[in-house]
Amino acid sequence: MTHPNAPSPDAPPDNVTPLREDADAGPGAPALRQPPNNIEVEQALLGAILRNNRAYEAAGDLLEAKHFYAPEHQRLFGYIRSVIDRAQVANATSLAHIVDEDDLLKGVGGREYLYQLDAGLVTIINARQYAETVRDLYVKRELIGLGEDVVNDAYDSSDLDFTADRQIEKAEQRLYDLAVTGDADRSVIAIGRAAGLAVDAVEKAMQREGHVVGVTSGFRDIDNMLGGLHPSDLLILAGRPAMGKTALATNIAFNAAHAYRKIETDPDSPGGGQVIEEGGHVLFFSLEMSSEQLAARIMAERARVSSDKMRRGEIGPEEFDRVAQAAEELSRLPLYIDDTPALSITGLRQRARRVKRQHGLHLIVVDYLQLLQPPADKRIEGRVNEVSEITRGLKTLAKELEVPVLALSQLSRQVENREDKRPQLADLRESGSIEQDADVVTFIYRPEYYLEKEHPEQRGNEAPEKFQERVERHNQRLAEARNIAEVIIAKQRHGPVGTVELQFTGEFTVFSDLDRHHDPDMY
């Protein structure tokens, strides 16, 4: 069957780049290239669906109307999809009156062409293969268009803000979008297979020393509450300035990288012969501090040296030796830092994929969410919508790479206006999208910080002894809060919520597990 508008091998189609541009080309010059297409396969697929709509069940999830090359086939597939989606039968008879009203389809023969497709000797068995061919040819045509756009964008110097880096981000995003074209079927999995994967995860957790399903945070009580940082989860760590968000994030990143090891299980065990990874390779996006500043902070934490004194060079030989040992320890860790400023969510995704491909990746940390930029090729109105796009992008990245993404977030000032300064979900800036997309939302809160700023003052008619009682109560609360940090787990999609207390040593900005049976100053 020949499509009435099928391109002739000798007739160059529109908008196609020739093999060479030569105004004086003679009869022996190479023919112009045509976009990849196969009209016969498109006809066979449409005919199979018209003959038996079960062919649509086999192929429909792979295709959209735009995947067809012939405009008439795009239009016809759209009609077929609309009819089937209404739970009606799509065949030549039911579509004939629709085709009669469509000038584009009438141009190729109208209902006569429809009946020719229906009469083709095609079976449902080949429908999936035909759909894959149609999609593959569409992707190749899009790659040609992408290449042309990359060339044209590189030549265009009218937009000074559209730098080479942003052009690369745009091209990589389009390549990624093409790569996942038709991937909807890959997300469909039988419940038995899903149950088996869940059992495997539990078995691996039993084999790990920390008995966590995901990547360890390095903090006993946090891991007990969360079960580790789970693959595909988006975790938000939020807090007001000076609460220690970055310090806690760097502690978690270091702990996860420091714990990385491969465990070979006993071949005779139920799931024996496996190699189980504990801890992980960590990628830390530092949008606020440089890589040197972040490394210096981690070294100060490990060496138990004041970062302020270290920065000013006011440390002795013994302290310097500890810093050098910490640097040597860091050099052996699978911890990678990206301090690119004003990074977009597209650029972050690009870099994360590269690290996973080159080194392996188990955890991503982003410090912090509000400093990320939305995709460069999208115009988004309003900061709330920008943050929504960013959080959706982080959640998508977590699922795509199958790693947990820990993103830090600022809190609104309304916390300061309450008597109880403990953060709540409503305090998240642009909280609607953040809370919705996150699997886990945690807050970091240090009551000591606020108690030190609240100095009791004697009221007008207050007796001296009453005032002294208030001062003593305040001092007692301050003593109890000294060096204590609360990690408030306000949302956990797959587990309980609650509060975990950690030890915080402000001089070294380091967190550790809290042991109330011993003197906190010993840690």
Dump strand ranges (E) for 362-483.
Answer: 363-367, 405-410, 440-445
pLDDT tens for 147-195 read: 998 898 888 888 777 788 778 878 877 887 777 665 544 555 666 666 6
Name which of 465, 364, 367 is nearest 405 in CA terms. 364
Dump strand ranges (E) for 1-156.
Answer: none
Q: Cα separation of 186 and 458, whole Å?
A: 68
pLDDT tens for 8-27 read: 433 333 333 333 344 444 55
Q: Cα separation of 523 and 515, whole Å?
A: 9
Q: Cα separation of 265 and 244, whole Å?
A: 38
CB proximity list for 382: less than 8 A, separation 6 or greater: none
Query: Do residues 490 and 424 lie in contact, with contact meaning Cβ atoms separated by under 8 Å?
Result: yes
Q: Which two tokens stand for residue 26?
A: 């003679």
Average pLDDT of the residues of the chain: 79
Least trusted range by pLDDT, from 79-93, 132-146, 359-373, 451-465: 451-465
Q: Which two tokens stand for residue 149?
A: 């756009």
DSSP state of 489: E
* Confidence band for 404, pLDDT divided at 50, 70 and 90: very high
pLDDT at 518 over 60: no
* Confidence band for 198, pLDDT divided at 50, 70 and 90: low
pLDDT of residue 12: 35
CB proximity list for 507: less than 8 A, separation 6 or greater: 306
More confident residue, 316 or 13: 316
Q: Cα separation of 213 and 172, whole Å?
A: 32
DSSP state of 111: H
pLDDT at 287 over 50: yes
CB proximity list for 53: less than 8 A, separation 6 or greater: 84, 89, 90, 91
Name which of 206, 196, 211 is nearest 265 in CA terms. 206
Q: Look at the block and give the residue holding tokens 């990547």.
A: 215
Name which of 491, 493, 259, 241 is nearest 368 in CA terms. 241
Query: Do residues 240 and 423 lie in contact, with contact meaning Cβ atoms separated by under 8 Å?
Result: yes
Dump strand ranges (E) for 402-497.
Answer: 405-410, 440-445, 484-492
Q: Which two tokens stand for residue 223?
A: 């891991």
pLDDT at 408 over 90: yes
Q: Cα separation of 412 and 240, whole Å?
A: 8
CB count within 10 Å of CB 10 equals 7
* HSE value, Cβ hemisphere, 13 Å, CA-based, for 171: 19
Q: Cα separation of 43 and 31, whole Å?
A: 26
Query: Do residues 39 and 3 lie in contact, with contact meaning Cβ atoms separated by under 8 Å?
Result: yes
Q: 498-505 and 510-513 as β-strands: parallel, antiparallel, unpaired?
A: antiparallel
Query: Do residues 409 and 391 lie in contact, with contact meaning Cβ atoms separated by under 8 Å?
Result: no
The torsion region of residue 483 among left (phi > 0), alpha (psi -120 to 50) and beta comes to: left
pLDDT of residue 521: 46
pLDDT tens for 38-63 read: 999 998 899 888 888 888 877 777 88
Q: Cα separation of 299 and 317, whole Å?
A: 15
Q: Which amino acid is at 391?
A: T
* Confidence band for 365, pLDDT divided at 50, 70 and 90: very high
Angle, CA 29 vertex, CA 5 and CA 139 arms, to 5°: 45
CB proximity list for 22: less than 8 A, separation 6 or greater: 29
Angle, CA 86 vertex, CA 85 and CA 88 arms, to 5°: 100
Coil, helix or strand at residue 147: helix
Query: In order of start, what are the domains of the chain with their CATH numbers?
Result: 39-170 (1.10.860.10), 192-442 (3.40.50.300)
Cis peptide before 368 (omega within 30 of 0): yes
pLDDT at 206 over 70: no
pLDDT of residue 389: 82
Q: Which two tokens stand for residue 461?
A: 């008619």
- Percent of the chain past pLDDT 70, that is, above it, reads 80
pLDDT of residue 224: 87
- Percent of the chain past pLDDT 90, that is, above it, reads 12
Coil, helix or strand at residue 326: helix
Q: Cα separation of 36 and 44, whole Å?
A: 17
Mean pLDDT of 482-504: 88
pLDDT of residue 9: 37
Task: Give burial (CB, 10 Å; 0-12/13-18/19+) of 20.
Answer: exposed
